[in-house]
Amino acid sequence: MLNDKTVLVTGGTGSFGQKFTQLALERYKLRRLIIFSRDELKQFEMRSRFPEEKYREIRYFIGDVRDKERLHRALDGVDIVVHAAAIKQVPAAEYNPLEAIKTNILGAANILDVAIDRNVEKVIALSTDKAANPINLYGATKLCSDKLFVAANAYSGNHRTKFSVVRYGNVVGSRGSVIPFFLKMKKTGTLPITDSRMTRFWITLEQGVQFVFTCLDKMQGGEIFVPKIPSMNIMDLAAALAPECKHEFVGIRPGEKLHEVLVPEDDARRTLELRDFFVIQPELNFWEKKGKYLLGAKPCPDGFTYSSDRNKEILSIDHLQSMMRNGGDFESQFQNLVPPSSD
């Protein structure tokens, strides 16, 4: 799929970008892999892990998705774009709303315009559970971005460029995740808990990257792909990570939900279920050619919603504690529980 391809990753120095780089270099023979990001320090640090002297196919581009001219230069000769750049911290987006809009919405518009002009083959954008029925600005900007990428398939006309979206939940161990936060607070003897009823979807970085590989291979353009991943209650997570700690209930923060949703009820009527993932189909008239991978897919029933509190796959305290005992590498243990396959 990626052999002899030129791939560009926006936000490539982030957690996802670095894992994508690692796995892509291990599994494929790329022509070029372009890391596109705006932070020179993070690129310097990433160079120490993936030096150009060892990985001759890798390139580092300083740039911002807000800068259309720079994107036009960076996408010269690119076959595949993985769009991971975003302002994603909820409080930062609420306090700096125009900055979130410029990056998450206008930056997305720049990506699709330049990708069409540069005749890119495929573009896949990373979304979030917060884009489904959003209640904060970050989720609203990502919902708008999702709709831009879906509609871009009609916008591209006779060009070959296809656009799709991957939407998944919280990433285990990523920057800002509750898991490293709880492990840090464990030393104090007290864990701050928002609400004892709260649930969240969980996925590892490797699972997320593998799912992107799968979707790049299958995409026809216009799909929103949603993996089937496990959920966990916040109290079970706290008990598994720090059973000896006391709990301080601080209340749900502004912009947070009690439970997260990946497939809202209103989207269920056009959602198909496969063994390992869901596909939210577009309503626009360009959606004519359905991929062979959808043969045998089942329409979701009326009233269906894929939410973290109604999920069939639930992580238990025993599961997490067992994973922590068996090696200590939380991510590598977690990914073996319910891995989205390439089926």
Residues annotated as catalytic are 130
Q: Using alpha carbons only, what angle is made at residue 215 by residues 214 and 217, rounded to the nearest 5 degrees?
A: 70
The SS3 assignment for 59 reads: strand
Euclidean distance between CA atoms 104 and 125, whole angstroms:
11
Task: Give 101: exposed, middle or buried? Use CB within 10 Å, 0-12, 13-18, 19+.
Answer: middle
Euclidean distance between CA atoms 117 and 128, whole angstroms:
27
**What's the distance, CA 170 to chain centroid?**
9
**What is the signed CA dihedral for 144, 278, 167, 195, rounded to 10 degrees?**
100
**Are residues 287 and 223 in contact, defined by beta-carbon separation less than 8 angstroms?**
no
153, containing H or E segment: helix 137-155
**Are residues 166 and 194 in contact, defined by beta-carbon separation less than 8 angstroms?**
no
Euclidean distance between CA atoms 80 and 120, whole angstroms:
6
Picking from 181, 83, 195, 98, the residue whose alpha carbon sits closest to that of residue 137 is 98
Q: At what angle do helices 234-241 and 178-185 cross, to 10 degrees?
A: 50
